[in-house]
Structure formats: C-alpha cells, structure tokens
Amino acid sequence: MIMVATSIMDVVFLFHKPSSLGKDKPWKGSGKVKNIVKLLLLFLFSCSMLFIPENINAQSSNQTITVKPVYPENQDPESKNHFNLSVNPKDQQTVEVRVSNHANEEITVGIKVANAYSNPNGGILYEPEMDSENTELLEDAVKMANYLNVQETVTIPPTSFVDVPVDVKVPDVNGQVLLGAVLFSSLGEDTDQQELKEGTANFIINTEMVYAIPVRLNLPNKSPFKFSLGDVGFISEDAQLYTEMINDTHNIQREIVGTYVVSDDQGKELFNGEFGNFMMAPKSKIRYPISWGYESLEDGKYTLSIEGTAGEEEFSSSKSFTIENQDVEEYIENTQPNQPQAQIDNGIPTIVWIIGGIVLAILMYFLGRRKSK
C-alpha cells in the first residue's frame, strides 16, 4: 500500500514505522539507502519551493506623488480632501490641485475628469464614462465631466510640486448637488522583469496609481429626496438576484439600510439578509446584488420582499421573479470546471505531488525489502 503524504512533515513521519507493540521505533536502514532517501527528499523540497506563489502588490510601498486640493474662498470649511463648493448657476471658477513629486527624478502625471456613479454594492465611484447595466446615471445633465476642464498631463520636477488648474463651469440646472472628480495617475517607475525560459518572451509589471479628488458643487436650489425600488431579476451566471435601487434626486442619498426576505411560491421563507449602510450618487440607478442563499437552486416563481430606510424616509417592496430551467442549467454549466485543475488548494502543483508519490513508492520498496530480510 502506498501512502500519500500531504506535507514534508508527513514524509519525515513515515521514517518511523510503528512496531507491533504500538511504540514508534526509528527505521535504521543501510547508509546507502538513507543517502538515497535524503537526496530524494531534498529534491522534492526544492521542487515545492519553486512553486510557492508570490504576492504581487498593486501599490508601491513608497508613494511617489501626493495630491491635495488648494481650497478657494467658497469651500465648505468643514470638508477636507475634496472640493465642496457653494456656487450659482452659470458661475465659472478655476480651482487648483497641488500635485507633489517625492521622487528624485522627473515624473509625468496623467489627468482626467470623471462622473460620479453609484457602486452596485453601495457607495460612490468615479469614472470618466461607464456603460453597464449594473450602474447608470438617469440623465446627462448630472455628468460632471461635461463641466470640468483640465490639461491631459503635467510634468513635475524632482522633489517639487505643481498647482494644476481645474476650470469649473456651473450649468444652468434646477438641481441641488452636482458631483464628479478629477483623477490623477502616474505610471510606476519600478517594473519587474523576468525571463521565463531561454528564448521566451519576458513579462513586465507596471504599477499605476490613481488618485481621485472629488468635486462637489452645491447649488442654491432645493431638491426633495426621492428614493425608490425598481425591477427585480435573476442573474444565472453567478446565481444572484438583484433589485433596482433608484436615487431620482439631484442630491447624494445617504444612509440606505434595510432587510430582505426571499420566499417560494408557497410563501415559505428560503433565506433572508441585510444591506447597507451606504450612499448613492445624485440621479443614479443600480442593480443591487443579492447572493442566492438557499441550499438548492430550482426553477420556479419566487418573491423578494424588502423593507428599509433612505435617510429618514421608509421604503418597502414585494415583487415576484422567475427562475427558468435554462437559468439553472446555465449556472451549473458556468460553475463546472472546464478542465482538470492544475493546482490544489494550497497552491502546490500536481507535478509536485506526483514526485512525492514516486519518492514514497521508492521508500516503501526499500522498507519491503528490509522486512523480507
């Protein structure tokens, strides 16, 4: 019988063979056999070390640049690390962002303007443009990228800083809050390069750091809060249902919290959960995802019931959705492995375990010969 070890320590343990009295006695083979086994174990250990995965950190431990707003007179004094400006429709203003270079060499920083979107999982994210069913803006009038103007790049001398101008043009709208951001990015100077095999291509890892300076414009208009829940659906790819959450106001909707219950067509509760606390960008809509929490997934009709609050306003909804047989089949197809796994859970490739099995087979062969003598 061949025993498969799960670690180097298990291999060492196999050197001790239990006696018939239940006491462990060290195995004393010939010196030649011992040397062979030692060499095989050393070879196995060396192979396993070759496949220890390395963690690649996307951010450098040394921060090359820093960015911070230069606050103008119409800045809210209570707000830090972003622009929070009191403005009027049709105002035009130039604000500045100080970009500091802490490196000993010149660097070039890229600059972009961005809109404010609601993150499907809650919160606010800043992107120049997004085309997704999971998050969208309800109208183009809230796209702040249309009202901010910046230069595309700036070159900063070593250990110095540059104040980058940001031109702000306030639109003539009836909203209360407009939200966006200016994004600064620098390509990391440190790159990793490694030749995999002689004659093969090298790979290079570039680290890009992106810094966002949010820009909030506060208009004198009042926009009442209007939060609601929309359609409910099921995504077969990853077995998630979703409910649309809609912030139909020109303001940031804060403190969205609630609970949900999923039941079958007989009214039996299958699973429940909570969501929040999070916020949504002005005039935005998301598909908030809810993972399927029941032990089985079957086709049929279900109901998603939600209760919660958005700020001080209560909301509730109870809507049915259908999981088709095709949805179940697609989920099974997507979750089944397409090919044999090359690695097990601890990251050691199969080839190492094969080598280990061979080593143990040889070891047990010598043990058998010793016993026969």
pLDDT in single tens digits along all 373 residues of the chain: 333 333 433 433 333 434 333 434 444 444 555 555 555 655 555 554 444 333 333 334 457 899 999 999 999 999 999 999 999 999 999 999 999 999 999 999 999 999 999 999 989 999 999 999 999 999 999 999 999 999 999 999 999 999 999 999 999 988 899 999 999 998 654 444 444 444 444 444 456 788 999 999 999 988 888 999 999 999 988 899 999 999 999 999 999 999 999 999 999 999 999 998 999 999 999 999 999 999 999 999 999 999 999 999 999 999 999 999 999 998 888 777 544 343 334 455 666 667 777 777 777 766 666 555 5
Residues in the chain: 373
pLDDT at 238: 86
Tokens of 286: 């998301």
Its CATH class, for the domain covering 227-335, is mainly beta
| 300-310 and 313-323 beta bridge pairing | antiparallel
Chain-centroid distance of CA 231 in Å reads 26
Are the C-beta atoms of 72 and 97 separated by less than 8 Å? no
CA 57 vs CA 203, 245, 306: distances in Å: 16, 34, 39
Domain 65-218: CATH class, spelled out: mainly beta
Answer yes or no: are the C-beta atoms of 171 and 89 closer than 8 Å: yes
Task: Answer yes or no: same fold for 65-218 and 227-335.
Answer: yes
Nearest in space to 212 (alpha carbons), one of 117, 106, 343 = 117
Q: What is the pLDDT of residue 369?
A: 61
pLDDT at 223: 85
Q: Please, are residues 239 and 224 in contact by the beta-carbon 8 Å criterion?
A: no
What is the distance between the alpha carbons of residues 19 and 41, in angstroms, rounded to a whole number?
A: 24
pLDDT at 186: 83
Helix (H, G, I), strand (E, B) or coil at 352: helix
Structure confidence at residue 6 (pLDDT): 37
pTM surpassing 0.85? no
Place of tokens 């396993």: 48
SS (H, E, C) 257-302: EEEEEEEECCCCEEEEEEEEEEEECCCEEEEEEEECCCCCCCCEEE
Kindly list the domain boundaries of the chain, sorted by start residue.
8-53+347-372, 65-218, 227-335
For residues 271 and 200, what is the distance between their CA atoms, to the nearest angstrom?
52
